[in-house]
Structure formats: C-alpha cells, structure tokens
C-alpha cells in the first residue's frame, strides 16, 4: 500500500496583484438573488446603447433590476427565447436580426406587433412570453414632441421598407395619414409592404415606388413629411441622393439614424430651410415604452436622454440606426 503523499499548496506570488471583488454592478446596482433581469438580444450587439439608458433609469428609480446585453446568433434564437422562461428574465428587447424571426417562438403577440409583423420587446408575464412592438409608438411620440406634427390627412413618404418602416407606417396610418408612399431600392419589397398594409389600413392610401430621382422629385412636391428609415447616413460620408429641393418649405425631413445625431440628409435639409427631426427621440421613447411594459413604471425620458448622449459622446455604440434598437 502506497503511503499518502502530503499536498504542497503553492502560495501566491507576492508580485501577483490581487483583484478586489466587486459588490455592485458597474452601474451601481446591487446584485442579489432577488435582482430582476432585463436585457436585449441581438447579433451583433456591441453597438447597443440600451444598457446605458435603461440602467440609468433603474439607478434613478432605485429598482432592484439590471439590464444586460446578450449576443444571440440567429441559430441560437429559439434557445435564447426559451431561456427567458427558464431563467426567469422579466423582459427582453429584440434588435437586428431577430425582430421578425422571434415571433414564432412566443406565446402571444400584441395587436400592433401582429399588424407590423415584427417585435422589439418581449414581456415574460407569469411564464407566458408576449411580444410587443414599440418602434411606431416611439417614432410618433418623438415626432409629436419635437415637431408638433399631426399625421391626420397628411401626405408622407417613407424611404425604406424594413422593420422600422413597417412600424412607423403602421403608427402613422393609425393616426389618420391620408397617403403613405414607400420608396425602396428593391421595389418588390416595397410592393409587398404596401399590399399587406392596404388591407390592414383601408383608410390610408398606400403606394410603392423605387428610388429613381425623377420619380422622387415628382412625389416630393406635395408631401408633408419625408422619413428616412434606411441605414444610409450612419457614416458621415454617406448621404441619400434625394431631391430635397423639390420639397415644399413647410415639409419636415426626418431621419431615424441617431449616430451621428445630425446626418448629412438633415444637414442638407437645414441648409434649405426645412424643419428637421433626428432619430434619438425615437430611440428614447420606444425604450421608455418597453420599460413601462415590463415594470408598469413610467421611465424618466430625460434620464434616458442624458445617458444616451453621454454614451454617444464617449464613443459608445457603433454607428447604428435607431430602428436597430434601442
């Protein structure tokens, strides 16, 4: 029988620096076994400034919660959504590329999300996952707050036909817009959106067109609001080649890109004396709406705004359209 060997435990080197344990998350939230988790699923996810906004609100309201980013690849989406239940996560935001794909993994979706065909918010309600879409709400709240714009009986052009365009078009149609034209590089996608929305919103006239400059010039002559929902403009050297000079001086030019805060499209519109509307307000209001759905509490939007601006100023978040979240 072999004798038992004594164990020699190596003492840590005096030169090795010890790392103190952190009792609190970086946003000052004390993490306990009772802390509720909120978060965002996306891929990629490093662009998001939502954690900065939501954690600022959590801190201001002294809530026992924390908001975390989760990188979820498309093939992992089903497992991630199921994990919301398994982990008892209270709520999740959904960003690119999952807004449409996530619907099939949910127990139910709101009427508005059904109309739009995409979700950007999931509420875990007693083990049932309910999908919502706050994009349209956020856009209209921002537009109304900053420009005092009433869509009723107005003529509107939306550049782009993606998830953000769907949410915004639905919100404006519900508010009584007379005519909404969807202009998209791939006209087939614009036609698909228009076909679906004609049935959902029969009181609004929908039309699909391409991005031909001459067609846009004719279309622009009698519109009240032009909205860019595409990602063009996220880089300072990128600008949409749109004939803004054809717009009436009373028209509003809106761009949902929030980084940079003032895109080349908005700068050009300003030089022409047009009223402009940027994307940061939409980001804030749709985030506040999500927070209310999860907690029942009205989020202080000014706290969210300050946190977002601070993060953008520090270079946090890659250049990203507000439609891509949050």
The residues annotated with a catalytic role in the active site are: 99
Q: Are 285 and 301 in contact, with CB atoms under 8 Å apart?
A: yes
- Helix boundaries (H) for 87-229: 111-116, 135-147, 163-174, 187-200, 213-220
**Of 302, 277, 291, which is closest to residue 326 (Cα–Cα)?**
291
Spatial separation of the C-alpha atoms in residues 186 and 189, rounded to whole Å: 6
Angle at 281 between CA 277 and CA 282, to 5 degrees: 95
| Alpha-carbon dihedral sign for residues 198, 106, 140, 278 | negative
Q: Are 138 and 164 in contact, with CB atoms under 8 Å apart?
A: no
Spatial separation of the C-alpha atoms in residues 147 and 275, rounded to whole Å: 8
Residues across the chain: 326
Strand residue runs (E) in the chain:
36-42, 65-71, 91-94, 108-109, 121-125, 128-132, 155-159, 179-183, 205-209, 225-228, 252-255, 275-277
């Amino acid at each position: 029988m072999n004798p038992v060997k004594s164990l020699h435990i190596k003492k840590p080197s005096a030169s090795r620096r010890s790392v103190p344990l952190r009792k609190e998350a970086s946003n000052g939230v004390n993490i306990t076994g009772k802390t509720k988790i909120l978060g965002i699923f996306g891929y990629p996810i490093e662009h998001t400034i939502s954690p900065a906004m939501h954690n600022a609100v959590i801190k201001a309201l002294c809530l026992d919660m924390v908001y975390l980013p989760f990188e979820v690849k498309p093939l992992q989406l089903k497992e991630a959504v199921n994990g919301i239940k398994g982990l008892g996560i209270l709520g999740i935001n959904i960003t690119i590329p999952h807004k449409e794909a996530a619907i099939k993994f949910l127990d139910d979706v709101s009427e508005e999300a059904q109309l739009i065909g995409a979700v950007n918010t999931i509420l875990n309600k007693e083990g049932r996952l309910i999908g919502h879409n706050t994009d349209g709400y956020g856009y209209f709240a921002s537009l109304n707050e900053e420009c005092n714009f009433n869509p009723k009986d107005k003529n509107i052009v939306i550049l782009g036909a993606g998830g953000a365009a769907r949410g915004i078009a639905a919100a404006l149609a519900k508010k009584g817009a007379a005519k909404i034209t969807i202009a998209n590089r791939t006209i087939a996608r614009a036609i698909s959106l228009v076909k679906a929305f004609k049935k959902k919103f029969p009181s609004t006239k929908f039309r699909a067109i391409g991005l031909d400059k001459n067609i846009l010039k004719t279309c622009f002559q009698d519109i009240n609001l032009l909205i860019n929902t595409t990602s063009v403009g996220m880089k300072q050297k990128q600008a949409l080649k749109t004939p803004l000079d054809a717009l009436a001086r009373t028209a509003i030019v809106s761009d949902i890109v929030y980084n940079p805060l003032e895109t080349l499209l908005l700068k050009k519109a300003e030089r022409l004396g047009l009223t402009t509307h940027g994307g940061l307000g939409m980001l804030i209001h749709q985030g506040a709406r999500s927070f209310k759905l999860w907690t029942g509490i009205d989020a202080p939007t000014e706290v969210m705004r300050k946190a977002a601006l601070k993060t953008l100023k520090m270079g946090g978040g890659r250049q990203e359209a507000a439609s891509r979240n949050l």
